Amino acid sequence: GCFVFKPSPKKRRVSWKTANYFGERNDDSDDTELRFATCQSLWNQIKSETEQIQEDLNKQLFDNLVSFLRQSHSKLQEKTTEWTCQTKTREIPTAALVLGVNVTDHDLTFRSLSEVLQNNITPYIALLEAKDCPGIKNLMQKLMGQLMNCSIDVDSLEDEDYVQVSQSRIRCSMTSLINWYESVTKKKDSETPSKKRTTSSRHLQSPPVVVIFKDMESFTTKVLQDFIVISSQHIRELPLVLIFGIATSPMIIHSLLPHSVSSLLCIELFQSLSCKEHLSTIIDKLLLTAQLPFKLGEKVLQVLINIFLYHDFSVQNFIKGFQLCIVEHFCSQPLSVLCCQLVDVKKRVNSLSHDQCENIRRLPSFRRYVERQVSEKQITLLTEDNFLKEIIQKLLEDLHVYHENYVSVLRCLHVFTSSLPKYPLGKQIRELHCACLENRVWETEEYESSLQLARRLLNKSDLVTMLQQCVEIFVSSSGKEFDKTVEKLKEFLTQFQTLEEAFQERDVSVSSQKELQKKTDLYHLQKTLLELKESRRSKKLTKFEMLRFEVVAYIDSLVRNYLVPADHKTLHEIVYFNTASVLREHLNAAPRIALHTALNNPYCYLKNEALKSDGGSISNKAPDICIAYKLHLECGRLINLVDWLEAFSTVVMSAEGPNADVASSDQVDDIIHARFIRAVSELELLGFIKPSKQKTDHVARLTWGGC
Amino acid sequence: QQTLHDLLKKAPLAYAAEIQELNQQHESLFSKWMLQLHLGFNIVLYGLGSKRDLLEKFRTSMLQDSVHLVVNGYFPSITVRSILNSITEEVLDHIGTFRSPLDQLEFIIRRFKEDSSLELYVLIHNLDSQMLRGERSQQILAQLSSLPSIYLIASVDHINAPLMWDQAKLSLYNWLWYETTTFSPYVEETSYENSLLVQQSGSLASSSLTHVLHSLTLNARGIFRLLAQYQLENKDNPSYPGLPFHDFYQQCREAFLVNSDLTLRAQLTEFRDHKLIRTKRGADGVEYLLIPVDDSTLADFLEKEDEDV
């Protein structure tokens, strides 16, 4: 059933470049090479950034793990010297990592984990996966193979005896493992002092052997038990440390292992970061920066987040979806060549061809822009390419500035709203981002209610502290946001600062008052504090100042910066990717729905007038398989084949009725029979029916509904 | 079966023009597929109608210049082993055998990682067919497809095909779904499907062998295994007449599979009804038992049984 086709050696081309496939459909519209290069560089940038983020997030966890390993190992060594606690030495130190249900992301975590361990603790690490170890024998083989490879990698000695070790993988037992370990450690001890220094400075004396079980849940219990029991017997000769990767909850250890086995383990739990936090940092770093020229539209982002939250919780899939967006955007949109850093924009705009300029003129957002101009300018815009190019440059710069302002103001607003009770605008910054992209924020009810809340309920001293905190965040972010074109930020800051000062003054006065009354008793103190509170509340001016200040901040920042992109910014098509349907059908497809519509309503696909029918009734001109399907929908669980055939032939005959001649009815019958057989076997292949043994000549339905 | 074919040929294919149009729509996606394959995605096609012609067209138009492997999943005696074998033997030019598919897979992965110039396109028709839908074969295929230099395009037909994959496999496969409804009849695919209405003659396929045996008791399976093993041991002997009944009875007794002559005979009758064995009376009047399946299928079958146990 397998056929290999090799290209004939004459025609063999060295390698097709991927870029060649990029723009074959719209051949000469623009420079596909450049577009592809932009796409690739963008993607690479994103990829490296996400990996970096992942590493940073896991750092805490890994540090804990490393210290745990160090500690347990040193303890173990102490114990081996003390003969008194011999019984205790049978315990294996174990770290249980609770990783969460997103299995797809675990690979990366484990890879970086083993790297970290390799650098800090031990060269001997084995990663075991459940699919490689159906039995204890395979497990031991795999373990040995990996450990020996590890040592070869790290030591990179001239290995005369390693070769023979790796070839004799057949007889892998615990004793040979121990022998190997002793030989390795001995070798390390007897090495030249210089070498020893390098190794021992990095690793501990007689480093532990770390065995990582990637997916604890899918191991068979027997294998795990056997392995644990065996290795616990040899723990003194072979310092083992186990790490379990657990997807569900730590209870699984106890349900997988009986008490006698789990008592051999000395378990410590480690919790990994929840995937939601991971996602929010990714969104924070990837989407809410001005650095990346590529942006996601609201609907696309919504789809991606929905897939994440409702289906798989996998950050990896989120990034994959993001990649698909980039590819689609650069592939389908000819103007995406301009989607680059601001530095390159000028060059690229100047090198635009005439066709490209036409493309730009055809953009709906650009049309709107033109309509708003004066008539002479309109004419030059529509006819002269050079003038158009200048305008485009300016517009793109505007877009960039808009993004910068948008991000920082969005963060500011997030600090405000996230401290409100009940979070009317959402708890996470991504929700706020979506809300702002979707519509004009200031027209929504949620925004209105959050304003109400901020104005009325939160008008206490803690709001002020929160404001100060918010300012701090804002200061740090504004420092990074280098070329702020608007000076508004500073304006904000000064406003904030005056507020701060006023508040501090009051603080000073409070403390001085306190000092005066130092000697009074508690009751008095309370009383004066209450009085102070009263007086603070009665200070109408400061309160009013705060309120007004808030309103100013909101209105100022919002009206100017929070415009909906699709609505107000020209040329947003270049930067925003907004076709959510593509994403949905490629990432999250529904084969059953496709089959259902194709069978129920073939008109969707075959555009023939004869197939048009009001839903429910069987059109007798539909393809055979559709007729058979509809007829089978009308039956119960078991279908009689003979009746089915009868019904089928009636329908088909009525379709052919007008033009069928009576003479060849026998032959027609045969043909109909054959078509019926074909249709039925196709339905069987598709999984709608299966042959049933309960009654002769019956088939069983495997789907529900219909009638 | 043949008459069925002839009759069907006479019946005109309805809506040929519209189907043609649909196909053209799908063909316009070819270059996009190539791009996405190269970017590390794998492509899976779903929808009503046979996707075989479409993939075939894709192969002839886009893949002429590169090494590619076509796997007919609907073929009833295909196994993952045969896919892996064809990769190692013909693509990598490696001679030699492997102890298990996992070893073989490891070897392939190593080779592809070492040699970045190796590229392989794999087209699988009906990834969800009877023989490939098992958990283990999907795992192996998923690992293969996760290699960056192996590009996989597959088609699925069964309505419950996505149930085969769990999260881990899905992430290995890295699918991009494409709906390609073609409405063209499943000619090749259903020609192997054992329909009720057409009693198919010819040699038994490995898939039907496994299915019948799965519905039997443990002892009955053991009996069949004994017979199959004996036949495989003697496969080089051209004058091998089959296993004499009496010897077979002795062997079964020793393995505690039957307790009397009668039970064995009853069991054999059942096998005969399912056409799993054939009996022949020799010149000396002794009954000889034979399995009318070619040896390679039988060997495949035994191997699979071993894996399952």
- Give the CATH number of the domain where residue B255 resides: 1.10.10
How many C-beta atoms surround the C-beta of residue A20 within 10 A? 15
| Side chain identity at residue B83, one-letter code | I
The CA distance from B309 to A281, in Å, is 47
Chain A environment of B179 (Cβ under 8 Å): 585, 589, 594
Say whether A282 sits in a helix, a strand or coil.
helix
Q: Which residue has the tokens 């305008």?
A: A391
Check A16 against B66: CB less than 8 A apart: yes
Beta-carbon contacts below 8 Å between A and B: 199
Does A168 have pLDDT greater than 70?
no
β A698-701/A638-640 pair status: antiparallel
Check B32 against A15: CB less than 8 A apart: no
Which of B50, B80, B121, B181 is the mutation pick for testing A, counting most A CBs within 10 A?
Answer: B181
Check A623 against B15: CB less than 8 A apart: yes
| One domain, residues B35 and B146 | yes
Q: Which residue has the tokens 């029979």?
A: A673
| Check: complex ipTM more than 0.90 | no
Can you spell out the DSSP letters for A22-47?
TTSTTTTTS-HHHHHHHHHHHHHHHH
Exposed (0-12), middle (13-18) or buried (19+): which is B308, by Cβ within 10 Å? exposed
Token pair of B254 as six digits: 């020793």
How many C-beta atoms surround the C-beta of residue B127 within 10 A? 25
CA-nearest of A647, A605, A619, A628 to A686 is A628
Asked whether residue B103 is domain-assigned, the answer is yes
| Helices A103-120 and A315-332, axial angle in degrees (round to 10) | 110
| One domain, residues B130 and B6 | yes
More confident residue, A541 or A412: A412
The CA distance from A687 to A599, in Å, is 13
Chain A nearest-CA distance from B70, in A, is 5
Rounded to the nearest 5 percent, the helix, strand and coil shares of chain A are 65, 5, 25
Chain A nearest-CA distance from B239, in A, is 30
| One domain, residues B69 and B125 | yes
Chain B nearest-CA distance from A146, in A, is 13
| Helices A375-383 and A364-371, axial angle in degrees (round to 10) | 150
A2: nearest CB among B36, B71, B117: B71
| One domain, residues B91 and B128 | yes
Does A512 have pLDDT greater than 60?
no
Contact A585, A324 (CB under 8 A): no
pLDDT for position A631:
84
The CA distance from A172 to A168, in Å, is 8
Chain A environment of B166 (Cβ under 8 Å): 103
pLDDT for position B295:
75
Task: Tell me the per-residue pLDDT of A633-683, one tens digit each, with 9 for 90 and over.
Answer: 887 778 888 888 888 888 877 776 655 555 566 777 777 887 888 888 888
**Of B135, B161, B179, which residue is a domain's last?**
B179
Mean pLDDT, residues A224-250 taken together: 82
The answer to whether B14 faces chain A, any CB pair under 8 Å, is: yes
Check B71 against A1: CB less than 8 A apart: yes
| Side chain identity at residue B213, one-letter code | L
Asked whether residue B61 is domain-assigned, the answer is yes
| One domain, residues B14 and B109 | yes
- Profile chain B (309 residues) by mean pLDDT over runs of 10 residues: 62 69 84 84 86 86 80 79 82 73 82 80 84 82 85 87 85 86 78 53 60 81 85 78 82 86 86 80 78 76 72
Chain A nearest-CA distance from B168, in A, is 6
| One domain, residues B142 and B53 | yes
Check B193 against A316: CB less than 8 A apart: no
Check B8 against A2: CB less than 8 A apart: no
The CA radius of gyration of chain A, in Å to the nearest whole number, is 35
Task: Tell me the per-residue pLDDT of A362-418, one tens digit each, with 9 for 90 and over.
Answer: 888 888 888 888 888 888 888 888 888 888 888 888 888 788 778 777 877 787 777
| One domain, residues B267 and B228 | yes
CA-nearest of A318, A49, A247 to B171 is A318
Check A681 against B193: CB less than 8 A apart: yes
Chain B nearest-CA distance from A290, in A, is 26
Mean pLDDT, residues A220-228 taken together: 86
Token pair of A67 as six digits: 């210290």
Chain A environment of B83 (Cβ under 8 Å): 2
Chain B environment of A13 (Cβ under 8 Å): 65
Number of structural domains chain B divides into: 2
Chain A nearest-CA distance from B241, in A, is 30
Check B39 against A103: CB less than 8 A apart: no
B 240-269: CB under 8 A from A: none
The answer to whether B91 faces chain A, any CB pair under 8 Å, is: yes
Asked whether residue B125 is domain-assigned, the answer is yes
Check A4 against B90: CB less than 8 A apart: yes
Check A7 against B70: CB less than 8 A apart: no
> What ranges make up the beta strands (E) of chain B?
42-46, 68-72, 120-125, 150-155, 175-179, 243-244, 278-281, 287-290
Mean pLDDT, residues A105-109 taken together: 82
Check B86 against A2: CB less than 8 A apart: yes
The CA distance from B154 to B165, in Å, is 14
Chain A environment of B178 (Cβ under 8 Å): 586
Chain B nearest-CA distance from A406, in A, is 32
**Count of residues in chain A:** 707
Asked whether residue B200 is domain-assigned, the answer is no
Chain A environment of B183 (Cβ under 8 Å): 598, 602, 605-606, 623
Q: Is A392 left (phi over 0), alpha (psi -120 to 50) or beta?
A: alpha
Mean pLDDT, residues A347-356 taken together: 81
| Side chain identity at residue B60, one-letter code | T
The CA distance from B186 to B48, in Å, is 10
Asked whether residue B199 is domain-assigned, the answer is no
The CA distance from A172 to A169, in Å, is 6
The CA distance from A483 to A28, in Å, is 38
Confidence band for A161, pLDDT divided at 50, 70 and 90: very low
Check A697 against B196: CB less than 8 A apart: yes
Asked whether residue B190 is domain-assigned, the answer is no
| One domain, residues B148 and B77 | yes
Task: Tell me the per-residue pLDDT of A411-470, one tens digit each, with 9 for 90 and over.
Answer: 777 877 777 777 777 788 888 888 888 777 777 788 778 777 776 666 666 666 776 777
SS (H, E, C) A550-608: HHHHHHHHHHHHCCCHHHHCCCHHHCEECCHHHHHHHHCCCHHHHHHHHHHCHHHCCCC
| One domain, residues B136 and B223 | no
The CA distance from A560 to A412, in Å, is 14
Residues in CB range of A65: below 8 A, 6 or more apart = A95, A97, A113, A116, A117, A243, A270
Residues in CB range of A373: below 8 A, 6 or more apart = A381
**Of B179, B195, B214, which residue is a domain's last?**
B179
Which of A582, A609, A681 is the mutation pick for testing B, counting most B CBs within 10 A?
Answer: A681
CA-nearest of A678, A692, A698 to B191 is A678
Check A678 against B4: CB less than 8 A apart: yes
Say whether A689 sits in a helix, a strand or coil.
strand
| One domain, residues B31 and B123 | yes
CB burial readout A358-378, b (16+ within 10 A) else e: ebbeebebbeebeeeeeeeee
Mean pLDDT, residues A287-309 taken together: 84
Contact B120, B69 (CB under 8 A): yes
Task: Tell me the per-residue pLDDT of A173-223, one tens digit each, with 9 for 90 and over.
Answer: 667 667 766 666 655 444 433 333 344 444 446 677 788 888 888 888 888
How many C-beta atoms surround the C-beta of residue A73 within 10 A? 21
Chain B environment of A697 (Cβ under 8 Å): 196
Q: Report the CATH number at residue B23.
A: 3.40.50.300
More confident residue, A159 or A559: A559
| Side chain identity at residue A87, one-letter code | T
| One domain, residues B108 and B36 | yes
The answer to whether B171 faces chain A, any CB pair under 8 Å, is: yes
| One domain, residues B149 and B241 | no
SS (H, E, C) A451-466: HHHHHHCCCCHHHHHH
For chain A, domains (ranges, CATH) are 89-151+206-273 (3.40.50.300), 274-440+564-588 (no CATH), 453-502+540-563 (no CATH), 591-701 (1.10.10)
Say whether A402 sits in a helix, a strand or coil.
helix
Asked whether residue B232 is domain-assigned, the answer is yes
Contact B134, B197 (CB under 8 A): no
The answer to whether B183 faces chain A, any CB pair under 8 Å, is: yes
Q: Which residue has the tokens 């309109």?
A: A378
- Give the structural domain span for B258: 206-308
**Of B135, B163, B179, which residue is a domain's last?**
B179
Token pair of A671 as six digits: 């043909």
Asked whether residue B117 is domain-assigned, the answer is yes
pLDDT for position A488:
65
Check B47 against A12: CB less than 8 A apart: no
